[in-house]
Amino acid sequence: MKLKTKIQLYSSLFMLIVILIINTAIYMLFYKISTDGYLEDLVHQTERLVETIKKQPDVASKELFRSFSPQQGMIRVVNQAGTVFISGGQAVKYDVPLDFSTKETQQIIKQKNAPNVAVINKPVIWGTGRHAGEVVTLQVSNQLTTLDSTMTTLFYVLLVSSGIILVPIIFGGNILSRFLLNPIKMLIQTMQENMKKGNWKKINVENRSRDELYEMEMTFNEMIDYLKDNFEKQEIFVSDASHELKTPISIVKSYAQLLKRRGIDNPKLVKEAMEAIDSEADRMSKLVEQMLVLAKNKHAASMEQVDLVTLIEETVKTFQGAYGREVRFHKPESSIILTGNKDQLEQVIYILIDNALKYSNDRVEIRLSEKNKQAIINVRDYGSGIPEQEQNRIFERFYRVDKARSRDTGGTGLGLAIARTIVKEHQGEIRVKSKMGEGSTFIVTLPIEILSKF
């Protein structure tokens, strides 16, 4: 069953039940109030009769009862033996039980296929004739013919009005289902169109009231923005990556062709070609490796307690051994332990020291300190520095200030992009301070306790 039909059906059914309950309540309440009124009238009538009989016991006769009898009722008197010894009334066509009782009662007695009867039983002391001085039961009853026809009319009125009310309810259900389903339909349509045509179409939310459906549409639009942004980034990344791989591949290809043409007779060229192919292969493998790292670091890594002092000390030792250059580490007095991923943090420090060594010839200094629950790592070199307008761009993927120089030093333009991704994952910041001719300082700030999102 379609959602629209369901909404319409259930809302109409629900309203029908509500109307039935209300109408039944109205019907029953009306009946109760009316019968109470009839009984009250009958009680007054009975009291008046009793008064009259008390004042003048001798007048109690069939004729008196007929004149006191309600329009559709009768008056009877029963003695203790259970025999009716006097009765009177108008057109009496019903049968209600009459027993002797010393208690006053009032009730409505149901009749089969005939209007109900209101009955008052009242014990009185009889004052005349054979039964003078006896306690007898005086019964005054009245058939509720008018009420019966009123109730029938009321029944039909309520029935017809229920039917009339149902019409706008069914219409209302239709409007409600349309109101609810139109935005959902629009969403489905837009999604299908986006899928078929490869679009990034959004939903028009102008002039919409700010309800849950509006929120749903806004979330959809935000999701489209997010997906589009990510998709474009991925596209740029793939095109950048293939562009970067093109250079080493074309170098390898041109050396191979050169060797094919005149390599065999030229040992010098063979050597040169072998070296170039080897170094370009290294470059490609480094590029691919770094691209993988970049893709991997986008995902949350497991967190642990990392001792930054030990971590930096170990990385510095590796560089001192491998490059034989002066790398100084200015340690803090106490250890700094933060929550993070050890391998990733090591990679950040590695990238920064590696760059500092690559782009300078003098010593490199690393400083670690703690301030406001933040660990601060400074990596300083005394190299050529980075021009101010380039300082923000160097964190972009594949961006290099001096392409030729970076190529010579084996740079891929991915190191700082990787460092920035990792630092961001740790809810920290990375920035650079640099002056041409004086060198550069890369500053990494990392919160000691990161807000758990892993």
* Residue nearer to ligand ADP on the CB measure, 46 or 347: 347
Positions that interact with ligand ADP (CB under 6 A) = 351, 355-356, 359, 381, 383, 386, 394, 399-402, 406, 411-417, 440
Closest approach of Cβ 327 to ligand ADP, in Å?
13
Stated length of the chain? 454
Nearer to ligand ADP, 78 or 394 (CB): 394
Rounded to whole angstroms, what are the CA distances from 203 to 106, 139, 175, 228, 229?
A: 72, 80, 22, 15, 17
Least distance to ligand ADP, CB of residue 268, Å: 30
Output the smallest distance, CB 273 to ligand ADP, in A.
Answer: 25
The one-letter amino acid code at 34 reads: S
Question: 217 or 244: whose CB is closer to ligand ADP?
Answer: 244
Q: CB of residue 316 vs ligand ADP: minimum separation in angstroms? A: 16
Strand ranges in 247-363 using DSSP code E only, listed in sequence order: 304-307, 327-330, 337-340
To ligand ADP, the closest distance from the beta carbon of 341 in angstroms equals 20
- Edge-first strand order for the sheet with 73-78 is 84-89, 73-78, 135-143, 117-125, 105-109
Cα distance between residue 155 and residue 157, in whole Å:
6
8 A C-beta contact, residue 365 and residue 377: no
Residue nearest to ligand ADP as judged by C-beta position: 411
Shortest Cβ distance from residue 253 to ligand ADP (Å)?
A: 23
Q: Give the other-Cβ count within 10 Å of 110's Cβ.
A: 9
* DSSP per residue, 166-231: HHHHHHHHHHHHHHHHHHHHHHHHHHHHHHHHT-------TT--SSHHHHHHHHHHHHHHHHHHHH
Nearest CB to ligand ADP, comparing residues 89 and 411: 411
Residue whose CB is less far from ligand ADP, 307 or 408: 408
- The residue (of 152 and 242) whose beta carbon lies closer to ligand ADP is 242
